[in-house]
Structure 1
Amino acid sequence: MKSGLRRGMKPRLIVRMILVLLLAAPAVQSSKAAAAGQDEFDALRLKWLSQLTGTGDYNVKDKAIDAYIKRISKVTNAQGTGILDTLNLDGSAGLWPDLQSTTNPAHITAQFKRIGQLALVYATRGAPLYQNEALGNDIEAAMQWMYDNRYNERSVRYGNWWEWEIGSPAEIVDILVLMYDRFEPEMIARYGRAMGAMIPDPGIRANGYNTPETGANRVDKALIAALHGILVRDGARIAQANAALPPVFEIVASGDGYYKDGSFIQHRDIAYTGSYGVVMIDGLSKLVRLLDGSSWEISSAQVKTLYNWFRYSFEPLMHDGAILDMVRGRAAARQNSDSYTIGRTVMHAFQRISYLLPADQAAEVLGRLKYWYLNDTVLKNTYYGLNIDGIQMVQSLLDDAAIVPAGDRIFHYRFPSMDRVVHKRPDYVFGVSMYSDRIRNYETLNGENVKGWYSGSGMTYLYDKDINPFGDGFWPTVDPLRLPGTTNDGKPKASGRSSQTWVGGASVTGAYGSAGMKFQYEGSGLTGSKSWFMFDNEIVALGSGITAGVSGTYETTVENRRLSAAGTETLTVDGGNRLPLLGSSANFTGVKWAHLAGSGIGYVFPKPTDVSMLREARTGSWAGISAGQSGAAVARNYMTMWIDHGKLPDNAGYAYVLLPNRTSAQTEAYSANPEISVLAQDETVHAVEERTLGIVAANFWKAGSAGAIRAEQPSAVMMRERNGILEAAVSDPTQKQQSVTVVLDKPGYAVQKTDPRIQVLETSPAIKLKVDVAGAAGESIRVFFEKVNGSAGS
């Protein structure tokens, strides 16, 4: 086959040729999808082509579209270093000199990806090489070489199965759609046979073990199979793709998938909403949009599930356009995959889905998306990472005055199936990442996230007016032994589950809640209990029973906050300006309160506490935490605060209150007159009262009493007494008990409404509840009472 742009051409000649082609580019039809006489296969193929290259007669001079076209057109350059310049069709080892391995299938996927980049330039109107004959010849020759030498129905697999069943075929179907009118039918048929051999059933992994696919992998393969069927005009193949989807929509009780509480698990025990969950919803949104209105569209019940995922799985974990790092697994340690970039993928996926939803749900989703776009101050480019179709969609959203931006809801949201908690207020978001005998502390795989040791061990995430506090180089530079909220023994930790079962909490009104975690580390034997109680203006953190069996370094990190480039944010401790210089540290005794400017966070210690503090400059690299990343030095400044529990702690503890978005004066005033009281802090129970809200919350590690609450079994209990209404919530954080009995010393109340799993055994002289927690998976089960014959309550 004749090759087009030869590798030996001089760069200057290439540039001249591009300019000539650009000036001479013919006018293009506005939409192939409108061609007369097309059948359903053609219509679907052209619909996918529009998703790849844009819809209609778009304006190539539009600023965002022009920038995108210039970016994808960098396949060739005057220096001769572009992927088109270095393509070698005459070699026998590979199409590019850096992708010639015959033992690593990632090189196959990477070569198809580069061919796909060339095909995108060929098929995108406005690109300098749009429908260029020489480029078309090169693409066709490259695809023939790959079929003959790397990927066909007779290929013997090696290495990672994913490259053969998802990575390469995902690129292939896009190339075939982009080049459909240019390729001979036999080219389509050849790759059709290859994909049929590699993916005989999208629901099964054909890796020799016939493993059922789950989650994101299943969706990816279903999309590939649907496009395969469209290309070879095989309705049965599209139907097979559609038939692979129902398990994805099912609620699971174990293993991979979506749970009743909105959790998403992948790799059996990793909280992965913000990584594999994003891949899944992105692929699914593309597939359902593609098949909508066709003979193979998804059901209305599945559309309802998509809305529920937005409402209960993704929305709670989004903040100003970013998806929280605590559900991103090892992806948080990837340099070019920050939480805002991935958040954009989430937003665009749900914009695709919105067009399938009922009008009221669509308006809700689009209003929230518009708010996130407008509130994102990190990604300055609104159209970052989007192709022309994506740009068009976002422009339509932002330009539509009928879509009103809808701010985030105010709520407390618990994900007990993945040991995560999110607490949202108008001016801050707080999250806790925990682990148990059900969920792993962190994941490291393929050399990624090798220092995520404590990221699931009670790490706290506080997002306030401080922009992007856990991005912008945080992960490669933060001290991985001192992550905020964690209690550590100064040693790296292996990836794995805990030996402890008590991890969870309770919540009332949907706005306030508790979280708690029993922990025990191998090696040092360090054990203890940790709690967080989350209200309107404050978060209370308690620890107790911190005990170790060997001498070492044992600390609880109150804060490890990334500072500005100057690193000069004022630290105030009990009224004095402390540690003004980078590299300074001190051990402060009897601290009552502290305040860090910039982020505007106050720290109050209910009992005077000895606190160590350090202002430092730290340097790391992305390669230091994940293989294959940049080794370039990254420098960031930090303020760290921790409580030292001694060399051999025995029943040590801690207590502190976080005050988001407060001034130094407000922090001092709160310290003098706090709104909370610590009712109990031992190895029986942690309990706190928030007096202004009328809330008492208690984490019972075992049977015991705290204030007006008594529990006969391990449990989390929370109650709120206000305006004559008493609300109580009970959960089983162990997720192993059959029932829990709780007594509330609150006479004078009658049942108003209750969950059917709660039996109200008595209301006098105290309220006694028996709560059926079997199969509740840590859910907070609620009951309401109203005051009778007396005071209206507090």
Structure 2
Amino acid sequence: MPSAQGSSRRTFLAASGTGAAAVALGLTLPAQQAAASQLAPAADEFDTLRLRWRELMLGSGFDATAEPYATKLAALGTSARTALATMAPASGSLWPDLPLTDAATGSAGMSTSYGRLNTMAQAWAQPGTGSTGDATLIAAVGKGLDHLYTQIYNENTKPFGNWWDWQIGSSRLLMDTAVIVYDTLTADRLGHYTAAIDHFVPDSAVAVYSGTSTGANRTDLCRVLATRGVLGKNAAKIALARDALSPVFPYVTAGDGLYADGSFIQHTWIAYTGSYGEVQIDGLSRLFALLAGSTWAVTDPNRQIILDSVERSYAPLIHDGLMMDCVNGRAISRQTTDDQLMGRTIMAHIAMLALGASPAERDRWRALIKGWTDRAQTTPVLADQRLSVANLALLRAAVDAAPTAAPAPVGPHLFPAMDRAVHRGSRFAASLSMSSSRIAYYENGNGENLRGWHTGSGMLAWWGDGFAGDQYSDGFWPTADPYRMPGTTVSRKPLADGEGGAWGAARPAVTWVGGAGDGTYAAVGQHLKGLSSTLTARKSWFFVGDEIVCLGAGITAADGMPVESVVDHRNLGATGTNALTVDGRRLPTTLGRHDTFPWARWAHLAGHGGYVFPGGAAVQSLREERTGTWRAINTGGTADPVTRRYLTLWFAHGTDPADATYAYVLLPGARQLETAVRAADHDKVRVLANSPSVQAISSHRLGLLAANFWTAGAAGELAVNGPASALVRTARRTATLSLAAPERTGAPVELIWDRPVRSVASRDPRVEVLATGRSLRLRITPDTACGTVRTDVVLG
């Protein structure tokens, strides 16, 4: 039996130069290959991997007496002692509030019980918890593991409830806990636990890459198999886990996984770079670190795709340390997590992945982490008590080792495969959520996200520089009006909780969703069909520097219900009194005040930003206090009331509108004077067209023409013979034409630009030049992934 502290970290550091030891030393995994090659024979190598996994879970390189670790560790001890005090093994339960076979909770009580035991094990193993090395605590952990094995998680039990609890939730926690307390386990106990894993997670669980064994789920299954192999000293299990990871690596063109455009999809129809994407990068970063330099090192060359995903998939969706909710799926309804925690957790996974990356990648990623950390607008990242000790240590090490802080990027980033887009101005970031026959309106399941109905109906979320970092993490989801998500066009037709079906079943029968971007500007559009309603509309967003031009046309419905297009639904916090000014008139901040402006030209919300209505428009505003509960949107939440204040601006299209329109310019972060000046500047960006056939803008000042063609048509000097999204950007003697075909049929599109063109300087292989001279004619065969095809020309 080892000392009360458990396995010595000094032993681990001496035995292995990889894994979390590199976190503390600021080294990279490749630099440690020589040390790893001197590992002892197979039995000792299993022990080395076990100690390495333990260190990855518990963290290293931190001072337990310093903050934020001291407070975090003390809280861990308190939680463990509470769990110990309430643990009462009985038939059908380990804790009275967690029945193991309750019809209402299904198998969730089992996984939660394993989670409490894991907390107790960590408190015993970690320093500074007040229960470090406590004999009573560790004895209770063993007793609890045995009780769960006897009662439910054993090789004779037939699974019921949620498959995830049996194959991932409980199995992962059981193996991790067994690693932490390994030196207190008898061979018989360990044999029982590994036998249970072999029963619920057999080799066949990863035999075929399909069903529930894809993407993040496959990564989790491999994590279970690898730790089971380490604990049971079974080389074949570890090799199987390594090899079964390979199908996760390549880009996919349908279903779950990473796409070449940076998208990540799980559950076939859901944009999931956050949540399930977090699980995937967590599992992969840990397994890469665990196996590096060992007999079972991951050497598949496609492993590089995972490394590339840091900058291709994750970083574009992280804003100042938060992961945008447009890719968090049903997790937006969870009370215990939010965009801030999701982003910071992914940052820690990137820090771990950096340990096995090239020096150049490592430096870039650490610079990203430092930039996000420095710009975080809410609780400082390195003091966030919601993060684990290990993740806090990882982030601290990454920030300290960063060569510099990467600046916030600017410009658009499109994710066609998951119907998402991001745009950053010099002082804001915005995300756009759409839906199509390929991507669901929203996801609900397991009683979660019951009212996320309209989050895929063109929701335009945004965060300003230096303010409103908690816009969507400060009680937004339980209190916001689910019929008034910002940027959306919706019918007020009442919808049932979980309307449309679970797990992404509800998808609109539309294909024109997506757009074209040139790295500086972008045109994005959505053919909208309402969830369980007759509503149809064409919506466009043009990302132009520090503003977003928003157009809607063809807004039609016949449900006998009002239809609205929501300019914004701004969370003012619990006590916010931010002033709304419309056309120079400052309005009272009285709660419940509803105003109608028959012909507004601009509006400004103090502390947030401005809104311009080109040519004037009828606009509604409402200042209200809204109260809701987490349980109303997620059955796992509490019934405690949450109250927040909102300022909403919207266009009321009336009941059963026919071909209604709207137009506004969003100016996130703009001051009041800037907004008024922009409203008077009619030439900066002009709306050329806003109809069901084409929506287009132009800016002579910027040399920009952008259009979404819903059908064949013309806008300004540009014409196409079929549906397309197009941008033309001109400089003094050159121009760049960018085109995408969001319907993704692969059918050629002919484009005519009525400008003298001397020659084509460069072109995508998919572009055929039909004519130059007095005008330019191109035939473009777009790919079926809605990628942007580019042509550079010299002007005549």
Relative to the length of structure 1, the TM-score reads: 0.91
The answer on whether the counterparts of 2:369 and 2:399 sit within 8 Å (CA) in structure 1 is: no
1:681 is matched with which residue?
A: 690
Deviates more, 1:45-54 or 1:752-761: 45-54
The 1:40–1:234 alpha-carbon spacing in structure 2 relative to 1, beyond 3 Å, is same
1:74 alignment partner AA: T
Q: If you compute each CA radius of gyration, which structure gives the higher value, 1 or 2?
A: 1
1:65 to 42, 63, 69: 69
Please say if 1:698 is aligned against 2:698.
Answer: no
Cα drift, residue 54 of structure 1: 3.1
SS in 2 for 1:666: helix
Please say if 1:391 is aligned against 2:392.
Answer: yes
1:224 is matched with which residue?
A: 224
Q: Alpha-carbon deviations, 1:81-102, whole Å to 9, x = none?
A: x11112224x333221122332
For residues 388 and 337 of structure 1, what CA distance do their matches in structure 2 show?
Answer: 17
2:96 is matched with which residue?
A: 97
1:344 is matched with which residue?
A: 344
1:567 to 567, 571, 576: 576
The 1:175–1:567 alpha-carbon spacing in structure 2 relative to 1, beyond 3 Å, is closer
The answer on whether the counterparts of 2:516 and 2:522 sit within 8 Å (CA) in structure 1 is: yes
For residues 170 and 5 of structure 2, what CA distance do their matches in structure 1 show?
Answer: 32
Cα drift, residue 210 of structure 1: 8.5
1:742 is matched with which residue?
A: 751
Cα drift, residue 604 of structure 1: 1.0
The 1:523–1:160 alpha-carbon spacing in structure 2 relative to 1, beyond 3 Å, is closer
SS in 1 for 2:407: coil
For residues 300 and 166 of structure 2, what CA distance do their matches in structure 1 show?
Answer: 33
1:462 is matched with which residue?
A: 462
2:654 is matched with which residue?
A: 646
2:410 is matched with which residue?
A: 410
Cα drift, residue 116 of structure 1: 1.6
1:235 is matched with which residue?
A: 235
Q: Alpha-carbon deviations, 1:528-564, whole Å to 9, x = none?
A: 2111111012211111111223432111111111114
Cα drift, residue 771 of structure 1: 0.8
The 1:108–1:556 alpha-carbon spacing in structure 2 relative to 1, beyond 3 Å, is same
For residues 114 and 721 of structure 1, what CA distance do their matches in structure 2 show?
Answer: 61
SS in 2 for 1:63: coil
The 1:76–1:715 alpha-carbon spacing in structure 2 relative to 1, beyond 3 Å, is closer
2:602 to 568, 584, 593: 593
After superposition, residues 712-723 of structure 1 pair within 5 angstroms as 712-723=721-732
2:154 to 149, 152, 155: 152
Cα drift, residue 27 of structure 1: 12
Aligned length: 754
Deviates more, 1:179-188 or 1:704-713: 179-188
For residues 195 and 550 of structure 1, what CA distance do their matches in structure 2 show?
Answer: 53
Gaps of at least 5 residues in structure 1 are 1-21, 789-794
The answer on whether the counterparts of 2:310 and 2:350 sit within 8 Å (CA) in structure 1 is: yes
1:430 is matched with which residue?
A: 430
Please say if 1:116 is aligned against 2:82.
Answer: no
2:514 is matched with which residue?
A: 504
Cα drift, residue 749 of structure 1: 3.0
The answer on whether the counterparts of 2:453 and 2:531 sit within 8 Å (CA) in structure 1 is: no
2:436 alignment partner AA: S
1:14 is matched with which residue?
A: none
SS in 2 for 1:638: strand
For residues 658 and 651 of structure 2, what CA distance do their matches in structure 1 show?
Answer: 14
Q: Alpha-carbon deviations, 1:221-245, whole Å to 9, x = none?
A: 1011001101111111100001111
For residues 729 and 189 of structure 2, what CA distance do their matches in structure 1 show?
Answer: 68
For residues 566 and 165 of structure 1, what CA distance do their matches in structure 2 show?
Answer: 45
For residues 9 and 695 of structure 2, what CA distance do their matches in structure 1 show?
Answer: 69
Please say if 1:516 is aligned against 2:496.
Answer: no
1:755 is matched with which residue?
A: 764
After superposition, residues 240-279 of structure 1 pair within 5 angstroms as 240-279=240-279
The answer on whether the counterparts of 2:459 and 2:487 sit within 8 Å (CA) in structure 1 is: yes
Q: Alpha-carbon deviations, 1:663-702, whole Å to 9, x = none?
A: 2221111111131111111121111002221110010010
Q: Alpha-carbon deviations, 1:160-217, whole Å to 9, x = none?
A: 11111111110111111111111112211221111112111275399xx994610111
The answer on whether the counterparts of 2:454 and 2:531 sit within 8 Å (CA) in structure 1 is: no
1:708 is matched with which residue?
A: 717
1:9 is matched with which residue?
A: none
For residues 555 and 310 of structure 1, what CA distance do their matches in structure 2 show?
Answer: 38
Please say if 1:54 is aligned against 2:34.
Answer: no
Cα drift, residue 29 of structure 1: 6.1
1:4 is matched with which residue?
A: none
The 1:310–1:202 alpha-carbon spacing in structure 2 relative to 1, beyond 3 Å, is farther
1:485 is matched with which residue?
A: 487
For residues 108 and 342 of structure 1, what CA distance do their matches in structure 2 show?
Answer: 25
The answer on whether the counterparts of 1:430 and 1:461 sit within 8 Å (CA) in structure 2 is: yes
SS in 1 for 2:696: strand
SS in 1 for 2:387: coil
For residues 532 and 144 of structure 2, what CA distance do their matches in structure 1 show?
Answer: 55
1:193 is matched with which residue?
A: 195
2:177 is matched with which residue?
A: 175
2:534 alignment partner AA: G
1:164 is matched with which residue?
A: 166
Cα drift, residue 398 of structure 1: 2.9
For residues 133 and 578 of structure 2, what CA distance do their matches in structure 1 show?
Answer: 56
For residues 300 and 617 of structure 1, what CA distance do their matches in structure 2 show?
Answer: 55
1:389 alignment partner AA: A
For residues 156 and 274 of structure 1, what CA distance do their matches in structure 2 show?
Answer: 32
2:63 alignment partner AA: N
Relative to the length of structure 2, the TM-score reads: 0.91
Cα drift, residue 389 of structure 1: 3.0
Cα drift, residue 414 of structure 1: 0.6
For residues 545 and 439 of structure 2, what CA distance do their matches in structure 1 show?
Answer: 29
1:3 is matched with which residue?
A: none
The answer on whether the counterparts of 1:44 and 1:230 sit within 8 Å (CA) in structure 2 is: yes
For residues 387 and 659 of structure 1, what CA distance do their matches in structure 2 show?
Answer: 37
The 1:44–1:547 alpha-carbon spacing in structure 2 relative to 1, beyond 3 Å, is same
SS in 2 for 1:298: coil
RMSD: 2.2
2:27 is matched with which residue?
A: none
2:679 is matched with which residue?
A: 671
2:321 is matched with which residue?
A: 321
Q: Alpha-carbon deviations, 1:548-582, whole Å to 9, x = none?
A: 23432111111111114433212111111124312
2:35 is matched with which residue?
A: none
For residues 254 and 452 of structure 1, what CA distance do their matches in structure 2 show?
Answer: 24
Q: Alpha-carbon deviations, 1:393-434, whole Å to 9, x = none?
A: 22222333x521111222311111111110112211122111
For residues 124 and 239 of structure 1, what CA distance do their matches in structure 2 show?
Answer: 30
SS in 1 for 2:392: helix
SS in 1 for 2:553: strand
The answer on whether the counterparts of 1:31 and 1:55 sit within 8 Å (CA) in structure 2 is: no
The answer on whether the counterparts of 1:582 and 1:617 sit within 8 Å (CA) in structure 2 is: yes
1:622 to 615, 630, 633: 630
1:447 is matched with which residue?
A: 447
2:147 alignment partner AA: W
Cα drift, residue 136 of structure 1: 2.9
The 1:696–1:75 alpha-carbon spacing in structure 2 relative to 1, beyond 3 Å, is closer
1:318 alignment partner AA: I
For residues 562 and 523 of structure 1, what CA distance do their matches in structure 2 show?
Answer: 27
For residues 277 and 173 of structure 1, what CA distance do their matches in structure 2 show?
Answer: 22
SS in 1 for 2:183: coil
2:33 is matched with which residue?
A: none
